[in-house]
Structure 1
Amino acid sequence: MSAISPTSNERLRRRTAHACETCRIRKTRCDGRSPCKSCVESQEVCKYREAPALPKPKGDIVLETLLKLQAEVAALSQKLDAATSYRPVQDVDSPGSTSHTAAIASMTSVASHDLDAIVPLRHLSATEMFLSWEIFDGVPAIREQFKSVYQLESQRPPMPIFSSTAFPSISLETWSNSVDSFGQNVNFWYPALHEARLQGLWDSLASFTLDGCLALLVVALGQACMHVEDRFSRQGSRRRSNPESDLGTLCFERAYSMIHNAVSEVSITAMLCLFYTAIYFSYLQRPLQTDFFLNITAHRCVVMLHYPDPTMPITDYETLRRIFWCCFILESDLVVELDKVPQSGCAQMESQIALPSKFDTHSTRDTSDLSTLYLLACISIRRLLNRIHKLLYSKESVTRMQSVPDMNLIAELAHQLDEWRDVLPPYLQFELSTQPAQNDHQGFLRQRYFAAKSVIYRPVFNYVVTMNLHGIQPPGIGDAVASAEQCLDAAYLHMTNLRGFTHTVVIDTWICALSMTGVALVLYIAWQTPSLKQKLQEKIGVDRIRNALWELKLKIDDMMLTAPEISPSVSQCVSIIEATRDVIH
């Protein structure tokens, strides 16, 4: 029997959950009927309000509130980042005006969808991976001459040891020219050295100190850039030049003999010395040594940023932060091809480091602002490229998309790439064509754009090729072929837009050689795939492809010969590009 009997239940006070309006106003009991007993007796109109919605469970209310708070925090963070990550001058006609600030806020947010943009270890997008395809089984001219890039580079003789204690003789005019070249090039692409510090290095040029080492590295890099500019015009066409001066080499060898002091010291000057040593090894086309010094520099940056010195001047802290981002860009470029090389860890914490802010790297504020804009553009496209590799080319991602590529993911990444281009400030905006860019910086970023687009659509290209190799015609293969064309179009434009920009030649010759070899191999694979070959014949034609590959071979050859010594892996790339051209007919 129930604890409450029917008899007792009847004695309980009965109340309706919803009283009519008349009873509510009179504050009389309402029985909930329509009309209710009270309104019938008083001959009043009986009306009820609309029934209220059922209340949400408390768990739903908490979750909804939490999501709203998260959205508000995210919006506030974006506003704070836009306000603090870059604060250029506000002159109306200045390249750092408010409109540019807004553009940079948009540009840096384009590549921030993941917390950390990391190229996965042992990813499957390196150029070497192409040569494992069965389509190259019958092409010994390409596959059999190939050796591992790491094997070739690790067998190179070491750098010569500088035995003399004498410093190279450098006149004030030579110093001034070298500093100007360094500032217009290296300190524009990777603006980490403050103008005041740069101008003060002259007094330390012939000293056995880290400032002396830094001064020698500035001269060496300035001389390297002058040499490259003497060989190539602004848009990269070949020019006649005089033989290279030995001054840059002598300065680097002298600085290199002192670099052990930078390895053992924890200071901003030591960080700059290590970083510029890595840059010079890029010019020498020695990727393993470049990676070694970038790794040391980036690791030291991470430690110093984790344990900040409260007495550090703001200019030194900004220098440290900029070195970190430069290492992030350059190391990410290298590990795309050296996929098994351990990384420094800077990519794992890049989401925790503030972006570069106002910094006087040049004598005029406009130039300083432009160089910061350029650095931020390079950071954002590199972050996007890292995310592309993470989402499309990790082993897990490749396994997941072996059956059918994730077209929604690919479309989203392509949208983000176009979004990045759209928010570039006017000085860096480029046309999607083969026409010469208005400046070298536009041209360099255009190369990055086409490289990224080709990599985004490559999984669809791989899928179409695989289906053709096995004679399979799955549903929707026509749409896949159309998307694979996007990969081919971007690869061809990437190849034909290659120019001898100073940034490309000094920093990216080795990376560029591997990347362009990948383009050549993609074109060969497409030529062996009937559905894609037809598209190539209709759009480009065999003669234009062969001519473009020959031009590419000459360009890479020119870039390779710019360095004081020849890289065996770059030389191998030139041979593979030539062999690929020979088998396309």
Structure 2
Amino acid sequence: MNYTRKRALLACDFCRHRKRRCDGKKPCSTCRDSNADCVYKELPFDRVEDSSPTAVIDRLARIENLLEHQSQQINHLSTRSSPLSYPTSQADYFATYQQPSEYLPSTSAAIDPQLDSPQFLIPKNHATLPITLLSLPMVRDLIGEYPRDYFFEIEEKLPLPGLLGKLYDSPLVWPSIDADTLDVLSENYFRNVHPHHPLFTPAMFKAWQDELIQEKGMEEIGTAICFCVYALGTICSNTAGDYDNDEALGIQFFQPALRIILHKLVWEFRPSINLCQALLLAASYFAHLGRPLHSWKMAQFSSRMFLGLLESRQRYIASAEFEEAELRTFWQCFTVECDRIAELDVPRSGIEPLGDRMRLPHSTDPSDNENTIYFIAEHAIRRLLNRIHNSLYGPEIAQTSPIHVLPTGPNQAWQSLNMQKLQALSAELNRQLEEWYFSIPDYLRPVKGTLPLPNDRARVLRIRYYAARHIIHRPFLLQMVSRQCEEQSPASTSVLSPDSYSESTVFLERCETCIDSCVTYLYNAIEMIDRRSPYLWTFSQSCLACLIMLWMADNTPALHHYLPHMQPIQNMLLTKLRKWAIKDSTFAAEIHIIEQLVFSDPMEA
């Protein structure tokens, strides 16, 4: 379905300042009605693209404003009155004062569902979790019953490796301080880990390291930051799934760092941005181990401390001045927490609603320009993913659903839409995804598909793109699978009435897009889960979801011919997951599920 652009590519200064819809005329209708001067900045698309860091960041900021304005269009396409009207989710959010939205958040009030500008927060009990696919009748009949908190229970029971499981069983032991070794480890960190979350500059780190080497304030938070950096520098060079070797995992550095961090967290009474940073480094370390709950816990501590830091200032967000370290800390908290909410539906800290009102960071170091741009681009698509979760996969509100899909499966918001509205909503979300993709500067924009890319940051953006594209189009594939299961069931009384949309070319194209997105996602993510990164567990879960979707399509006659030969892809994924599959881990559970998915061979068919 095609949409005609109803808004200018670039709003005038007056509309942009007041966050109003601009029609692009000269003067625009808003300026004409307000008797204001209508002034436009020069459009960058009519000349050679300015690739300077400031221009690129401004450009990404403009796409953020554009996506924000498009929330009204999504609300219009949806049948719901407000994306926040989920009764089960309110207790988990800390919200704004019932005053203008630029106020800092209270950590005690509940979100007002009647806010004038509804936010696209990931709803509680959303149905995008990979585990929800296991409850679908077709999958459940093959692999059996799995509770919604299955992966959560696995992770909370899994003991920590090595000395981390005995954090307070012995006196604090400091690792040996060898300047040359530490330089190598810090170089590893800034080359492999820092680009994923550029919390501070190398110069800032060097100041902390100099104090450590001179043995100044050994149990200060700067020491903990240094030890986290060394631990991450060690673990990112350990490509094998070695859980038994403390030195290979850098635990000799991380154990004292964690003790310092937890001591400061409990007994310091003023919020500290450096402690927030140390907690985020600890979250990254646990993510590299493939421990999502421990990673989330550290990030949530950081989020809550950051909220305390904001509240202590008693300022308006719109007029507050934030240092770059604070902005980077906020956005890292935001992204990590949203990832965990999307994967495990964990409790919220209250950081998520501020994503609409905090400004984006800028580069403070020429060597960090590209990292900053990648960082902003990933934040932008994380916000778009939140919109998709909210618009399509929140708990269904309608008492009866016009689309009788998955009658014994999880309720989902898209089921309360008729097929025309679902197609319009998915088309709008997909358009926003393409807007995001083309907002990335040409020289950093990852090419679509599976061609090799120069670095992990480009790979992550491409993986995020296909993750969003998959879940935008997932409802169409689920609808087709459900319909054909009903038709093939001998006991069926044809609960589903004939639906011309499921037989239309457009409907089948949406299913094909979902299949293509899942296949391309797998090829890209399999490369990433071959080594440790902060995305190790996240990508393994999404690979499981994609493979289940493809298995259902493979067993649906109308969709089977869209799939490639799946056996090599399945085998590659199993090989990578076995690398990390210690006993009773999520990785081992994923392997057990994937091994039960038997794909047909299209050559034989």
TM-score (norm 1): 0.74
What residue number does 2:134 align with?
A: 131
What residue number does 1:263 align with?
A: 265
Contiguous gaps of at least 5 residues in structure 1? 1-63, 84-91, 233-239
User: Given the superposition, is the C-alpha separation of residues 569 and 468 from structure 1 closer, same or farther in structure 2, using an over 3 Å criterion?
Assistant: same
Is 2:185 aligned against 1:178?
Answer: yes
Is 2:342 aligned against 1:332?
Answer: no
* Structure with a larger share of its residues in helix: 1
User: Given the superposition, is the C-alpha separation of residues 217 and 504 from structure 1 closer, same or farther in structure 2, using an over 3 Å criterion?
Assistant: same
Candidates 485, 510, 518, aligned match of 2:537? 510
Is 2:568 aligned against 1:547?
Answer: yes
What residue number does 2:452 align with?
A: 436
CA RMSD of aligned residues (A): 3.7
Could you tell which deviates more after superposition, 115-124 or 157-166?
157-166
Offset from partner CA, 1:115-152 (integer Å, 9 cap, x none): 63421111011111111111124313x65799801111
Candidates 419, 426, 443, aligned match of 1:410? 426
Offset from partner CA, 1:285-327 (integer Å, 9 cap, x none): 22111111111111211221233399xxx99832122111011
Q: Is the 8 A contact 1:146 1:572 kept in 2?
A: no
In structure 2, what is the Cα distance between the partners aligned to 1:355 and 1:137? 44
In structure 1, what is the Cα distance between the partners aligned to 2:418 and 2:250? 50
How big is the shift at 1:166?
2.4
What residue number does 2:386 align with?
A: 386
Is 2:592 aligned against 1:575?
Answer: yes
In structure 2, what is the Cα distance between the partners aligned to 1:567 and 1:94? 52
What residue number does 1:372 align with?
A: 372
Could you tell which deviates more after superposition, 102-111 or 474-483?
102-111
Contiguous gaps of at least 5 residues in structure 2? 1-22, 72-116, 397-412, 488-495
Candidates 324, 349, 352, aligned match of 1:347? 352
What residue number does 1:474 align with?
A: 499
Candidates 167, 170, 187, aligned match of 1:161? 167
| TM superposition outliers: structure 1 runs of 4+ over 6 Å | 64-67, 70-79, 144-147, 582-585
How big is the shift at 1:441?
2.0
| Helix, strand or coil at the partner of 1:428 | coil
Candidates 506, 523, 532, aligned match of 1:496? 523
User: Given the superposition, is the C-alpha separation of residues 348 and 245 from structure 1 closer, same or farther in structure 2, using an over 3 Å criterion?
Assistant: same
In structure 2, what is the Cα distance between the partners aligned to 1:399 and 1:382? 24
User: Given the superposition, is the C-alpha separation of residues 402 and 336 from structure 1 closer, same or farther in structure 2, using an over 3 Å criterion?
Assistant: farther
User: Given the superposition, is the C-alpha separation of residues 379 and 209 from structure 1 closer, same or farther in structure 2, using an over 3 Å criterion?
Assistant: same
Is 2:224 aligned against 1:213?
Answer: yes
Q: Is the 8 A contact 1:268 1:316 kept in 2?
A: no
What residue number does 1:254 align with?
A: 256
Offset from partner CA, 1:196-244 (integer Å, 9 cap, x none): 320012222661221211111111111122224xx69xxxxxxx9xx88
Q: Which amino acid aligns with 1:204?
A: L
Offset from partner CA, 1:496-531 (integer Å, 9 cap, x none): 122444898321111111111001110111122221
How big is the shift at 1:105?
3.5
User: Given the superposition, is the C-alpha separation of residues 334 and 387 from structure 1 closer, same or farther in structure 2, using an over 3 Å criterion?
Assistant: same
How big is the shift at 1:382?
0.5
| Helix, strand or coil at the partner of 2:525 | coil
User: Given the superposition, is the C-alpha separation of residues 521 and 434 from structure 1 closer, same or farther in structure 2, using an over 3 Å criterion?
Assistant: same
User: Given the superposition, is the C-alpha separation of residues 412 and 457 from structure 1 closer, same or farther in structure 2, using an over 3 Å criterion?
Assistant: same
List aligned pairs for 1:86-97, cutoff 5 A.
96-97=52-53
In structure 2, what is the Cα distance between the partners aligned to 1:73 and 1:423? 32
Q: Which amino acid aligns with 2:441?
A: P
Q: Which amino acid aligns with 1:392?
A: L
| Helix, strand or coil at the partner of 1:335 | helix
Offset from partner CA, 1:346-395 (integer Å, 9 cap, x none): 111111211112323xxxx1x21111101101111101111111111111
User: Given the superposition, is the C-alpha separation of residues 430 and 76 from structure 1 closer, same or farther in structure 2, using an over 3 Å criterion?
Assistant: farther
Tell which structure's C-alpha radius of gyration is larger: 1
Q: Is the 8 A contact 2:212 2:223 kept in 1?
A: yes
Offset from partner CA, 1:158-193 (integer Å, 9 cap, x none): 532152332011311111111112222332221111
In structure 1, what is the Cα distance between the partners aligned to 2:361 and 2:599? 47
Offset from partner CA, 1:53-87 (integer Å, 9 cap, x none): xxxxxxxxxxx9997259989999997xx99xxxx
In structure 1, what is the Cα distance between the partners aligned to 2:259 and 2:522? 39
Q: Which amino acid aligns with 2:125?
A: R
User: Given the superposition, is the C-alpha separation of residues 566 and 480 from structure 1 closer, same or farther in structure 2, using an over 3 Å criterion?
Assistant: same
In structure 2, what is the Cα distance between the partners aligned to 1:77 and 1:164? 66
In structure 2, what is the Cα distance between the partners aligned to 1:323 and 1:432? 30
Q: Is the 8 A contact 1:107 1:377 kept in 2?
A: no
Q: Is the 8 A contact 1:325 1:379 kept in 2?
A: yes
Q: Which amino acid aligns with 2:416?
A: R
In structure 2, what is the Cα distance between the partners aligned to 1:495 and 1:73? 54
TM-score (norm 2): 0.72
Is 2:339 aligned against 1:318?
Answer: no
Q: Which amino acid aligns with 1:105?
A: A
Q: Which amino acid aligns with 1:522?
A: M
